[in-house]
Structure 1
Amino acid sequence: MKLKVNDITLNVLVEGDDKAPPVLLLHGFPDSSKLWSGQIKPLVDAGYKVIVPDLRGFGESEAPTETSAYKMSNGISDVTALLDELKVDKCKVVGHDFGAALAWGLAISQPDRVERLCVISVGHMGAYFSAGGIDQKKASWYMLLFVQEGTAERLLQAQDWQLLKAITSPGVPDDALQAYVTDLSRPGRLTAGLNWYRANHNMESFVALEPNNDIPGVQMPTMGIWPTGDHYCLEVQMLASESKVPKGCWRYERLESPSHWAPRDKPQEVCALLLDFFKQDFPQNKL
């Protein structure tokens, strides 16, 4: 369905009984709601209502042309307005890649809307470079490319999208690679996806050695999943995210997976972890 929220039209898939406990799934780059195709039916079959938006600029959602439109604050406002439109007061939130960063941001800024948080690959923003240090910055080299307007577009598309295909490999099926190319070949769509990085990162903040340790933590039970084949987000930054979660409310899972894209590579395993986490008992203490 198409919903007008926060002055933008989002394409949103909603599956399951309207009275069932809601779960919000948030994708990253270069994905769309299709990333979660392996999780939707199992979650619905387990008794959950699943909400899966194409974030602004991706899939069939509207793609503003201004770089500033992709600030994290706008993404949080989109999701909050979407929950309001669907009359969802509180939900479980799962995010991958940039969607994980968005999930952290939503949990920090709107803690009353997030019952439980699951983040895949991307740890808390205060731990990402702080714990990972120079090694994480090396692994995140692609961010330096993505913030270069024009240059990134040319390099990613050159020679039949060879660099994009290399970034999203190994472990990516040919049909998934082609789906990325098809989606991002539409006018303005590659730039829209890259604008998520450009609006929230820059060269100066990337190379600065001083990490931002002032970002607050979250207040709800949180599970971090790190895929062993993830060459872009190091394990140390996810492990360090425990310090940003209430004592006794952190769960960490190291998942054998060929790449960064665990929801697509290991759909059954991710589903099993989510369903177990959703039922797990945690203490009620908060930060």
Structure 2
Amino acid sequence: MREVTHQIDANGLSHFVRDIGEENAPAAILLHGFPDSSAVWQKVTPLLVSAGFRVLAPDLRGFGRTDMPAKVADYDIATGALPDILALMDRLNISTAHIAGHDFGAPVAWMLAAQHPDKFKTLTALSVGHMRAFLSAGAEQKWRSLYMVYHQFRGLCEATYKFNDWALLRKHWSAHGDIDEAISLLSRPGRLTAGLNWYRANASIGRMLYPPKPDSRGEEIVRIPTIGIWSGGEKYLTETQMINSAKYVDAPWRYEKIENASHWIPYDAPDALAKIMVEHWRLHA
């Protein structure tokens, strides 16, 4: 099995990308979230490759072995992560791909699918639904999202997460499939702050209470086949916000629930996840 790691200069940063599978196979781009890196996809990737796909999993800006910009504003999804992925596709000569995202990678994937339907064949969203559905999901979702408020306190959040061998971070993300590896990556200078800056740039208190108005040009509507996947052991996100994402998809939509998995579906249920993804991709090749 072909397996390559790239360090690619694109959009002003050096990006680490895992590239597995034959170069001429249909491409699938997998995006991770916090506190992860592209390693979150390691269990599911061989299953996708054996089904005939080329899997590309980048470390998003600030994470893993990709450069970390210094300013909070640099982590805004629309002006940072989106052009990163598009630039990486150009550098790797990939004209179209299936796009999938988990955790913070899901909002990136939703936005890419909505704004660049010519670039992506399908969308697979894990755990996190469309941002409009998330923001309107009600009191339970707001309660589950309170930790995002704590992430806004620069310095204080970092110090308490690191205290006593990262005890608070270990407790909050207790279901993580490889928390020691995640902490090892976050322990490097500046990396925890870079990861938290994703929340500070995209999930600030102001944005949560007063979200931007819907784009009048319809750029938030996804017009490619989409599947939303949610897990029975999910602690941070309600099922409602995923189910209601259908309102923002003007294309074939499917919802799947994986019962015996935590928030980290790629770690907990790689076989079930791969089966769903491959079916989705083959149906809409």
TM superposition score category, shorter chain reference: over 0.9
Segments of 4+ in structure 1 off by > 4 A? 210-215
2:167 aligned partner: 162
2:259 aligned partner: 256
Does the aligned pair in 2 maintain the 1:228–1:255 contact within 8 Å? yes
Does the aligned pair in 1 maintain the 2:76–2:198 contact within 8 Å? yes
1:102 aligned partner: 108
Q: String of CA shifts for 1:205-231, please: whole Å, max 9, x gaps.
A: 2244x7855562101000000011111
Does the aligned pair in 2 maintain the 1:127–1:213 contact within 8 Å? no
1:175-254 mapped onto 2 (5 Å cutoff)? 176-208=178-210, 212-214=213-215, 216-247=220-251, 249-254=252-257
Separation in 1, partners of 2:213, 2:170:
32
Instruction: Find the partner of 1:270 among 265, 268, 273.
Output: 273
Deviation at 1:201, TM superposition (A): 2.4
Question: What runs of 5+ residues in structure 2 fail to find an aligned partner?
Answer: 1-5
TM-score by length of 1: 0.92
State whether structure 2 residue 25 is matched by structure 1 residue 20: yes
Q: String of CA shifts for 1:91-122, please: whole Å, max 9, x gaps.
A: 00110000001000111121111110000000
Separation in 2, partners of 1:151, 1:200:
19
Q: String of CA shifts for 1:170-194, please: whole Å, max 9, x gaps.
A: 3x35xx1111111111000000000
- The residue matched to 1:228 in structure 2 has which SS? strand
- Counterpart amino acid of residue 140 in structure 2: D
- The residue matched to 1:161 in structure 2 has which SS? helix
Q: String of CA shifts for 1:39-61, please: whole Å, max 9, x gaps.
A: 21111111111111011111111
1:133 aligned partner: 138
- Counterpart amino acid of residue 69 in structure 1: D
1:41 aligned partner: 46
- Counterpart amino acid of residue 276 in structure 2: L
Does the aligned pair in 1 maintain the 2:230–2:256 contact within 8 Å? yes
- The residue matched to 1:257 in structure 2 has which SS? strand
**C-alpha RMSD over aligned residues:** 1.6
Deviation at 1:129, TM superposition (A): 1.7
1:106-117 mapped onto 2 (5 Å cutoff)? 106-117=112-123
1:285 aligned partner: none
The sequence identity of aligned pairs, in percent, is 40
1:8 aligned partner: 13
Separation in 1, partners of 2:239, 2:275:
21
TM-score by length of 2: 0.93
2:66 aligned partner: 61
Does the aligned pair in 2 maintain the 1:126–1:212 contact within 8 Å? no
Q: How many residues are paired up?
A: 276
